[in-house]
Amino acid sequence: MAERTALVVSAHSADFVWRCGGAIALHGKKGYAVTVVCLSFGERGESAKLWKQAGMNLDKVKAARRIEAENAASALGVHDVQFFDCGDYPLELDREARFRLVDVIRKVQPAFMLSHSLDDPYNTDHPYATRVALECRMVAQAWGHNPGEKVLGAPQLYLFEPHQTEQCGWKPDTILDITEVWDQKLAAIRCMEGQQHLWDYYTNVAENRGNHFRRNSGGQAGGRDARYAEAFQSIFPRTVDEL
């Protein structure tokens, strides 16, 4: 049987941990090889704690963020983590970087992809990353791009939860029980020392989504007792044999 795969496109080096670390760990246990692409390190805009240290500079911040992300990826069982180092605040990918992402998509041939919400007024790097992911998904499907390569099929793109959902036009339609891998996600969260202020926040998010999973899986009339969950919004229609 062909190896099952998935791909995460993360604007910054910590986003994949907070927002879909549970999905990564859970699918890893199910036999998926999950690749994570970090488009930037979040070195300018998401490393305040590091910048407050004496003698800090951009290269040191990037190095620290890379180590954190690699440790988190290891805790989650990530198959491959790649760092594009495109810079943040603002995040920008030139044509070469976009084609590099197309190459990754074609190589991975993901069963599904994960990225950010399509809107986020607090952090424009996030929706930018998703629009790039959508564009590169499109190019990867084009028979005329590098003819002779295996083209991409039609993987679902799931949008993981933004920091403040009500401001981002994000409405989840898929809730994933991550209770059995919560310890892995928590270990990964604790690798992100540059953003300790988010540790408790994303623990609370997972607990709240666990409540939503219980409610939507049957509630007190027989719902699954999920303690922790992650929620996602699908972009494309899903083709299923049963709901």
For residues 143 and 155, give the distance between their C-alpha atoms in angstroms, rounded to a whole number: 16
> How does pLDDT run across 95-114, given as a tens digit for each residue?
999 999 999 999 999 999 99
> How does pLDDT run across 43-70, given as a tens digit for each residue?
999 999 999 999 999 999 999 999 999 9
Domains in the chain, CATH or no CATH each:
4-195+229-234 (3.40.50.10320)
For residues 212 and 167, give the distance between their C-alpha atoms in angstroms, rounded to a whole number: 20
Q: Judge whether residue 6 has pLDDT over 80.
A: yes
Radius of gyration, alpha carbons of the chain? 18
pLDDT at 220: 76
Are 175 and 193 in contact, with CB atoms under 8 Å apart?
no
The alpha carbon of 122 is separated from its chain's Cα centroid by a whole number of angstroms, namely 18
Amino acid found at 216:
N
Q: Judge whether residue 145 has pLDDT over 80.
A: yes
Angle at 91 between CA 46 and CA 203, to 5 degrees: 35
| Averaged pLDDT for residues 164-168 | 95
The sheet with strand 32-38 has its strands ordered as 80-83, 32-38, 4-10, 112-115, 156-160, 229-234, 174-177
Q: What is the largest CA-CA distance in the chain?
A: 58
pLDDT at 2: 56
Under the banding of pLDDT at 50, 70 and 90, the label for residue 221 is confident
pLDDT at 130: 98
Q: Judge whether residue 204 has pLDDT over 90.
A: yes
Question: Taking all residues of the chain, what is their mean pLDDT, rounded to a whole number?
Answer: 95
Q: Are strands 229-234 and 4-10 parallel, antiparallel or unpaired?
A: unpaired
Q: What is the pTM of this model?
A: 0.95
Q: Judge whether residue 243 has pLDDT over 80.
A: no
Residue 221 or 29, more confident: 29
Tell which phi-psi region holds residue 94, choosing left (phi > 0), alpha (psi between -120 and 50) or beta: beta
Q: Judge whether residue 1 has pLDDT over 50.
A: no
